[in-house]
Structure 1
Amino acid sequence: MQQSTREPLDILHDLVEINNDRIEGYSKAIELLPGGQHTDLRSIFEKYRDQSADFKTEIAPLVLQIGQDLTDHTRLSGKIFRAWMSLKSTFSSADRLNVLELAEQGEEEFDKVYQNFLENEIGEDNPIREMLLRQSQEQKAAYDHIKILHDNAKVNV
């Protein structure tokens, strides 16, 4: 792996943005669930939304150490995906299967971004690598959980 030529602040901001996307994505998924239904999913989505808030909290001191403020921005692709979530729910029911499908897609994107950072941006000797590896492992467990729930929902249709 080559050492990244990007500035550390740019990398940190991108990590914060993907976590902002995940937070917004799960908030949107919770909003799309029919009221009073699927309380198990609401709890799971809240847990994973909070997980990304915790990830951001871990990254924040590194951004502040560089002398910058923490961004509350999301990525353009995340905004487009959330708009797609809204549009899709308009034309199809926001049932368990559809919401889990969207959640799985969001987790897959998050995983790709973190893996790209670990493979191409964060060198073996970078002090934040261990934190990102741990966050990535925790997110993969969430991704696997969402995938199992989605697969089970497909079987039960």
Structure 2
Amino acid sequence: MTNNNEKSIDVLQELNQFVNDRIQGYKHAVEVTKDPAHQSYYNDLIKQSQQFSNEINSAIGSMGGSPQNSTTAKGKIFRGWMDVKSTFTGSDEEEIIKSNIFGEEWAQKAYNDALEHKHELPPNVVQMVEKQKQTSLATCERLRQMEKAAD
């Protein structure tokens, strides 16, 4: 495996940890929301995130790397904090949405970090990462609209 492949694999494995955080975050949102429409949307986002993870893992595999199925330590800490917070505040829809917005903003940072290495990534992988980033950005915007409606 070339050094460039190793760097590409590292970048994608790190990105996939954030995508896996996204999956776990929306699974948590499904569990705590009381709004059926929100629950359905969060389930759609879980499926979308699983597809993103599969795409990233496929790219990693094509470069000779091992799939990444773990999450970040920061994501685990954040989900733990949200559990504690919901114990004291209840499952407030606005707080759930705010947490999801925070997660999508965090995902944007992960996509931007990955794209800082786009000169090391194959063009088709850069295209995949950019497409996922745009989808995450659209999700963030929809969540902001949901937050405004919850006010």
Give the TM-score normalised by the residue count of structure 1. 0.86
Task: Report the counterpart of residue 25 of structure 2 in structure 1.
Answer: 25
Structure 2: stretches of 5+ with no match in the other structure? none
Verify the 8 A CA contact 2:118 2:126 in the aligned structure 1: yes
The residue type paired with residue 116 of structure 1 is D
Task: Report the counterpart of residue 123 of structure 1 in structure 2.
Answer: 119
The residue type paired with residue 101 of structure 1 is K
Task: Report the counterpart of residue 137 of structure 1 in structure 2.
Answer: 134
- Alignment pair present for 1:15 and 2:15: yes
Q: How far apart are 1:67 and its partner, in Å? A: 2.9
Task: Report the counterpart of residue 66 of structure 1 in structure 2.
Answer: 63
**Could you tell me how far apart the structure 2 residues matched to 1:14 and 1:115 are?**
12
In structure 2, relative to structure 1, the CA distance for the partners of 1:149 and 1:56 (3 Å cut) is: same
In structure 2, relative to structure 1, the CA distance for the partners of 1:68 and 1:91 (3 Å cut) is: same
**Could you tell me how far apart the structure 1 residues matched to 2:7 and 2:121 are?**
16
CA RMSD of aligned residues (A): 1.7
1:2-151 paired onto structure 2 within 5 Å:
7-33=7-33, 37-118=34-115, 120-123=116-119, 126-127=122-123, 128-151=125-148
Q: How far apart are 1:48 and its partner, in Å? A: 1.1
Q: Percent identity?
A: 30
The residue type paired with residue 22 of structure 2 is R
Which structure's residues are more often helix, by fraction?
2
Structure 1: stretches of 5+ with no match in the other structure? none
Cα deviations by residue, 1:98-153 (Å, 9 ceiling, x for unpaired): 111111111111111112222x2222873211111111111111110011101221
Give the TM-score normalised by the residue count of structure 2. 0.89
| SS of equivalent residue, structure 1 residue 11 | helix
**Could you tell me how far apart the structure 2 residues matched to 1:17 and 1:48 are?**
16
In structure 2, relative to structure 1, the CA distance for the partners of 1:99 and 1:48 (3 Å cut) is: same
The residue type paired with residue 56 of structure 1 is S
In structure 2, relative to structure 1, the CA distance for the partners of 1:71 and 1:117 (3 Å cut) is: closer
